[in-house]
Amino acid sequence: MAVNKKILITGGAGFIGSHLVRRFVNNYSNYHIYNLDVLNYAGNLENLKDIEHKDHYTFLRGDITNEVYINSIFNAYKFDAVIHLAAESHVDRSIKNPLGFAKTNILGTMVLLNAFVSLWKNDWKGKRFYQISTDEVYGSLGATGLFKETTPYNPNSPYSASKASSDHFVRAFGETYVMPYVISNCSNNYGPNQFPEKLIPLFINNIINKKPLPVYGDGNYTRDWLYVKDHAMAIDLVFHRGKNHEIYNIGGFNEYKNIDLVKLLCKQMDKKLGRDFGTSEKLITYVKDRPGHDLRYAIDASKINNELGWAPSLTFEAGLSKTIDWYLDNKAWLENVTSGDHMNYYTNQYADI
Ligand code: NAD
Ligand code: TYD
């Protein structure tokens, strides 16, 4: 089929980005998908081995903060749309390196916005900038309530503040330069290909290796978990059918306290690994809390559900089981990414255990 749209996906070698790139390349042969990624510790082209040979897919290695490079690729390829995921994404790393997060997440987004506006400011027809954001921009909930699209931004970590700031710039470019944009704010994702520094893949890796499971504080923090392929499906819908200048919240309708999640994970893994029930729970180790730790995130996803008909396809138990199976079947992937930078980070972050 002839290509009628050129789409730039940034951060496409990372966790969510790779699932999105695969979905778009496999489902839309009328699009040319350009995947721009700097390949930091979380970016891995192994994630995309199955689609890299396709004619309507191109990988571009580059840094979104490099203005000269970004302007050159926008001028060369004339992207009709940008789906922007490239970011530094881990809260604990942002506490150690806030400036690095500001540079990539704020400045990098502005460089992309500038290039997009310079290219299309006289003719926006059929163009769109889609900013992939997080529920963490809303700050923390107490015991009750849900984040709505109208909830004021109130970020508490350098990561969430940098994402909030970049969202504001997207909105500001929409108002100032009439740039068509859409933003979605999603809850915690989990699934295959997630770098083992975030809770679920880190704990899967530690259970496999019988290492301690470092639960921050009392473990009573709550997150709303969504399987990554359901997020990719939601992004597809928002990209194609979402309204310009609108925000869509995406969540799993699935709140879990960390400690309950960890116990469920231990139970499922004991069964899959043929270990006695209770073996993995003994690895749970309570450690010093994360500074500024948000108590609870929970999303009201009724807008995307009512307007675009989106709903998660999997229960958490089923999604978690599929995720564990993927990591057990892909031990080489896990071993590959847990050398180098990961080991340095791990030794430093979890020095107490
Ligand atoms: P990730 O860390 O797995 O992937 C990020 C990707 O961006 C990596 O491939 C990395 O190499 C690339 N990247 C980083 N800096 C770059 C730069 N300067 N130039 C070009 N590429 C760069 O992150 P993820 O979990 O897949 O998150 C993707 C996006 O989704 C982020 O914007 C994040 O804020 C957002 N998000 C994530 C979650 C979640 O639970 N993981 C939830 C909601 C929103
Ligand atoms: P994480 O996966 O880092 O996502 P986020 O901070 O973006 O929500 O953490 C999820 C929850 O798990 C969060 O409440 C922090 C907690 N957590 C631990 O208790 N121990 C850990 O080692 C990690 C990485 C996270």
In the structure, what pLDDT confidence band is assigned to residue 21 with cuts at 50, 70 and 90?
very high
Q: Is residue 343 part of a domain?
A: no
Active site residue 246: no
Strands 255-257 and 222-227: antiparallel
Active-site hit among 136, 197, 230, 300: 136
Pocket of ligand 2 contains residue 87 by CB under 6 Å: no
pLDDT at 101: 98
pLDDT at 351: 87
Q: Is the pLDDT of residue 1 over 80?
A: no
Q: Is residue 329 part of a domain?
A: no
pLDDT at 353: 80
pLDDT, tens digit, 9 for 90 and up, residues 232-262: 999 999 999 999 999 999 999 999 999 999 9
* Mean per-residue pLDDT of the chain: 97
List, in order, residues 6 or more apart from 222 with CB less than 8 Å away. Answer: 255, 256, 257, 258, 295, 296, 297, 298
Pocket lined around ligand 1, Cβ cut-off 6 Å: 10-11, 13-17, 37-40, 42-43, 63-65, 85-89, 104, 108, 132, 134, 163, 186, 188-189, 195
Q: Is residue 149 part of a domain?
A: yes
Q: How many percent of the chain have pLDDT more than 90?
A: 95
List, in order, residues 6 or more apart from 125 with CB less than 8 Å away. Answer: none
| Mean pLDDT score, 29-50 | 96
pLDDT, tens digit, 9 for 90 and up, residues 308-340: 999 999 999 999 999 999 999 999 999 999 987
Q: Is residue 336 part of a domain?
A: no
* Residues pairing with 223 in the sheet: 256
65-69, 90-94, 331-335, range with the lowest pLDDT: 331-335
Task: Quote the number of domains for the chain.
Answer: 1
The size of the chain, in residues, is: 353
**pTM (predicted TM-score):** 0.98
Q: Is residue 48 part of a domain?
A: yes
Helix (H), strand (E) at residue 215: strand 213-216
Q: Is residue 126 part of a domain?
A: yes
pLDDT, tens digit, 9 for 90 and up, residues 175-224: 999 999 999 999 999 999 999 999 999 999 999 999 999 999 999 999 99
pLDDT at 265: 98
Q: Is residue 198 part of a domain?
A: no
| Mean pLDDT score, 56-83 | 98
DSSP letter for 338, please.
T
Interval between CA 23 and ligand 2 midpoint (Å): 27
Q: Is residue 46 part of a domain?
A: yes
Pocket of ligand 2 contains residue 89 by CB under 6 Å: no
Domain that holds residue 309: 5-191+226-254+297-314
Pocket of ligand 2 contains residue 112 by CB under 6 Å: no
- CATH number for position 159: 3.40.50.720
Q: How many percent of the chain have pLDDT more than 70?
A: 100
Pocket probe mutation, ligand 1, options 8, 10, 16, max atoms within 8 Å of Cβ: 16
In the structure, what pLDDT confidence band is assigned to residue 46 with cuts at 50, 70 and 90?
very high
pLDDT at 99: 98
